[in-house]
Amino acid sequence: DLSSLTRFYPGPPFGIGGIRKLLGVHGRALVGGIVKPKIGLSPQQVAMVCKEMADGGVDFIKDDEILADQPWCPLGERVKAVAKALKGYKVLYAPCITGDGRDITRKARLARNEGATALHLNLWCGLGAFAAVRKAVNLPLFFQKSGDKCWTSGPYSIDYSVICYLAQLAGCDMGHIGMYGGYLAEQVGVLKTRIEKFSPALPSFSCGMDPSTASRIIQLFGTDVMLTSGGYIHSHTEGPAAGVRAMREATHAVCSSR
């Protein structure tokens, strides 16, 4: 009985409604951007990329899941540079704080103190890490599922729908779905399902996102989703800001027609 577990776990304090309130975005799908290239950028270069996406009107920015606290781009310096670059923009920035043990809560506090407005952890950390961060820092928490096949395949696997429920119990406000198709419709439903007192989490689609795919997802799943792009935005011939604007235009068109 999952409902009985709500006594022991914090749940998502923001969820769909809270994220929308923070951003002042209502009546449309949210547009997310991923910092690219994945690794190799300096803190100042990451900040520049984030500002370019913000100039285009992105709602949410996250580091790639393999960027954490490398020597060439230390977490504290990166977050401080990005926070400065995004000053005055209505956008959430979630640095990746994936790590081990108590180091995760240290990173969470460091990121918050340097100006992060959200946090991003990968499933590799274990679901207990999400709950620990949720108790330590009151920021929107993004759940990244990369590498989940190690959990969801094989004779002793865990169905991803169960992982979605557990991620919500642990306090995740946004959940990585991947790209739409097949069983993913069920996962979207799980993330949007209210578990007693908890706010529904915001499903985030990515992995090949572009304007045409974004329109199709909204038609299938409604406007309470986030459409997150990396490759399309950064490969746009006119630059990342133009890539974000193209995503915004596509989502606005289909949301307005619903």
**Residues 110-127: pLDDT tens digits?**
999 999 999 999 988 888
The string of pLDDT tens digits covering residues 82-113 is 999 999 999 999 999 998 878 999 999 999 99
Residue 13 parent element (H or E): none
Q: Is the pLDDT of residue 211 over 90?
A: yes
Mean pLDDT, residues 226-248 = 96
Per DSSP, what are the bridge partners of residue 94?
62
Residue 5 has pLDDT above 70, yes or no: no
- The model's confidence at residue 194, banded by pLDDT at 50, 70 and 90, is low
Q: Could you give the C-alpha distances from 159 to 56, 180, 193, in angstroms and in order?
A: 37, 17, 16
pLDDT at 16: 93
pLDDT at 40: 93
Query: In the predicted model, is pLDDT for residue 246 greater than 80?
Result: yes
The pLDDT of 62-81, averaged and rounded, is 95
Residue bearing the bigger pLDDT, 255 or 37: 37
Tell me what pLDDT residue 43 has.
98
Measured CA distances, 3 to 154, 181, 198 (Å): 28, 29, 10
- C-alpha triplet 164, 170, 172: angle, nearest 5°: 65
User: Phi and psi at residue 62, in whole multiples of 5°?
Assistant: -135, 150
Q: What percent of the chain has pLDDT over 90?
A: 58
**pTM given for the model:** 0.91
Per-residue confidence band for 165, with pLDDT thresholds at 50, 70 and 90:
confident
Half-sphere exposure at residue 34, Cβ-oriented, CA atoms within 13 angstroms: 28
Least confident of 45-59, 151-165, 224-238: 151-165
pLDDT reading at 187 higher than 70: no
pLDDT band at 193 (very low <50, low <70, confident <90, very high): low
